[in-house]
Structure 1
Amino acid sequence: MLDRILALLEEGQHQLYIDDELAQIKESNWVKNLSASHSSIITEILEKSVVSTASIPKKVRNQKGVISIDIDNNEYSLTNALKYLDEPLYIVVENLTSDGAFIRRLFEIYRQVGGELKTALERNFLEFYPAGGKNEIIKTIKQLIARKSQPYTPRVIVFLDSDKRFPGQEDDYQLINIREFCVQFGIGLHVLYKREIENYLPDVVLRNCLLKEHDEILNEFCTMSPDQKDFYDLEKGFNNK
């Protein structure tokens, strides 16, 4: 079972970070009972993990999941740990087409981190999961948890538009509920600063994509201040023209 967990590391689906337990692991019966070739591979993975640990932010290193043969509260059995690690990371989005395309483009722009995420997406280590709108986010995550029928919450990140109309606007009740739900279940949440993903499009892209009939309102949009552009309702604004 431990061999299969480490195989996920070798395949690149996860990274293992070790602080000071390397010597104990290398001297364990598990490693000693491996074949010479297998032991060499495992040892290499473990040694690389020690080198990598220093680059991990402390707040990330403190997010620990304990795997134990004798299970206590908040610990994973070997079987559940393997199932947990073998599942993809789900990015729950409001709209699969537009949000998925936006996030994929971010992978292209931020190549250092995005390259790894793009590979994860291609290898099904990462999966977009559509909710069909902000009002369906909590329901969708509950369904995802129920579908897995496991004694743990799947690895989930929620990606949302802010839908705010001006800078500093307080969260509405819907977003407050989503935030509280995500905290309760240990789910990651990223809310865009700007109103919607469309507000991140440069003026030149909008001009190239929109029909000629929108020129007048687009010209007005281009004269707006950065804050006005960031929180303008592009979809309704152009559709109302």
Structure 2
Amino acid sequence: MRVELAGGAFTEDRFELIVTLIRLFAESRHEWVVTPDQFEIVRAYFQEHAPTRAQAYALMAQKGAVSQAWSAGPATLRPVVSVTYDSMPDHVEDLTRPARLVVENQEGDGAFVLALAHVFEAGQVIRAHGNRWLEFVQGGGSGEVPKVVASEAATFRRVKRVAFLFDSDRMVPGEASKHEKAVAALGELGVPGHVLRFREAENYVPNRVLAAIAGPRRELAARIDALKKLDPHQRGHFDFKHGFWDRKKACPAVPDAQKDLYAPLPDHVMAALRNGFGENLTVILEREARAGKLKEADFEALGPEVVAELKGLLALLQEII
């Protein structure tokens, strides 16, 4: 997060807290925003209270001031956390804790997010997760996620470094997500989040990744060829894990809500996709992304708004890290 220390916060009784913040800045865990008029205050403070480290701390402040003066673009538009003398104990507590992303499935959704970070070069997200500065929290199912999010947010004092990610569970394009009421309630608590536009995270898995699934090559190739017959809307709401299969009746079927969406598909395409692509698709996605086998173009092929949506999700995470 971008953090500014008010000049009045540099007092003797706040020394330990200030040093804690400086350590966070030194680790690049947070960004120190320094205005030019503060530099002399910072230099004099550390010259008195930490003379052996004064030069190093002053250099950090100077870099923060120079960066602030010359930087431009989205990074400088991100909100700044203003730390004052009174707020410092609470802010230090919040800024030293890991940011929290509440998801429906910790392993699967966590792998999805990290895969996107590798593809779209969101190094801050990868580094934060690797250093345990960002943690994925198991929500326990979509119905429980709002409760878990609210509980996590309540543990922060001033800066709620919590966000959430929902599958939309939309059966057709444009359908209202069942999570809309929960999202509105969490917004009132000051907690940001994202509801996927497609049905589930698996709908964002490119064909290149599906080709890496273990199993008989010929049958898998036939399924992928059939998948290519779907238009972006059909692909975006297909049940990737289970396909066109009624698990209760144990027979091929298209849900009633999707009959119009998939009516144009030939029978042989429906038959080839009846079993879907199985579990752990986002784990495979992360593996392939980590190995550098995916590019932005692989996601552009999924639909005209996909890349912008996924980059927006990563930007949301960078806000709370």
Cα distance between partner residues in 2 of 1:56 and 1:14: 18
Aligned 8 A contact 2:166 2:196 in 1: yes
User: 1:48-105 CA deviation, whole Å, 9 max, x = no partner?
Assistant: 21233323538844x3433223x4xxxx2x2111111100111111101111111121
Deviates more, 1:200-209 or 1:222-231: 200-209
TM-score, with structure 2 as normaliser: 0.62
Question: Cα RMSD over matched residues?
Answer: 2.7
1:229 pairs with one of 221, 232, 235: 235
Structure-2 residue corresponding to 1:57 = 74
User: 1:191-218 CA deviation, whole Å, 9 max, x = no partner?
Assistant: 2222211111223433542755777765
Structure-2 residue corresponding to 1:188 = 192
| Residue type at the aligned position of 2:151 | Q
TM-score, with structure 1 as normaliser: 0.80
Give 1 or 2 for the bigger CA radius of gyration. 2
User: 1:121-172 CA deviation, whole Å, 9 max, x = no partner?
Assistant: 11111111110222111110222245x3x53353012122222223333333
Classify the secondary structure of the residue corresponding to 1:55. coil
- Equivalent pairs: percent with the same residue? 24
Classify the secondary structure of the residue corresponding to 2:174. coil
1:140 pairs with one of 143, 148, 154: 148
Deviates more, 1:187-196 or 1:6-15: 187-196
Structure-2 residue corresponding to 1:16 = 32
Aligned 8 A contact 2:168 2:199 in 1: yes
Evaluate the alpha carbon distance shift between residue 92 and residue 186 of structure 1 in structure 2; reply closer, same or farther with a 3 A threshold.
same
Classify the secondary structure of the residue corresponding to 2:170. coil
User: 1:3-35 CA deviation, whole Å, 9 max, x = no partner?
Assistant: 21111111221111234443453365x334133
Deviates more, 1:157-166 or 1:130-139: 157-166
Structure-2 residue corresponding to 1:47 = 62
Structure-2 residue corresponding to 1:5 = 21
| Residue type at the aligned position of 1:233 | D
Aligned 8 A contact 1:153 1:185 in 2: no
| Residue type at the aligned position of 1:92 | V
Cα distance between partner residues in 2 of 1:239 and 1:55: 51
Evaluate the alpha carbon distance shift between residue 203 and residue 35 of structure 1 in structure 2; reply closer, same or farther with a 3 A threshold.
closer
- Consecutive unaligned residues of structure 2, counting only runs of 5 or more, are 1-16, 247-273, 275-321
Evaluate the alpha carbon distance shift between residue 58 and residue 98 of structure 1 in structure 2; reply closer, same or farther with a 3 A threshold.
closer
Classify the secondary structure of the residue corresponding to 2:102. strand
Structure with higher RCO (Cα < 8 A, 6+ apart): 2
Cα distance between partner residues in 1 of 2:136 and 2:125: 12
Q: How many residues align?
A: 227
Cα distance between partner residues in 2 of 1:191 and 1:23: 42
Classify the secondary structure of the residue corresponding to 1:92. strand
Cα distance between partner residues in 2 of 1:181 and 1:59: 29
Shift of 1:42: 1.3
- Consecutive unaligned residues of structure 1, counting only runs of 5 or more, are none
Cα distance between partner residues in 1 of 2:125 and 2:208: 28
Structure-1 residue corresponding to 2:106 = 96
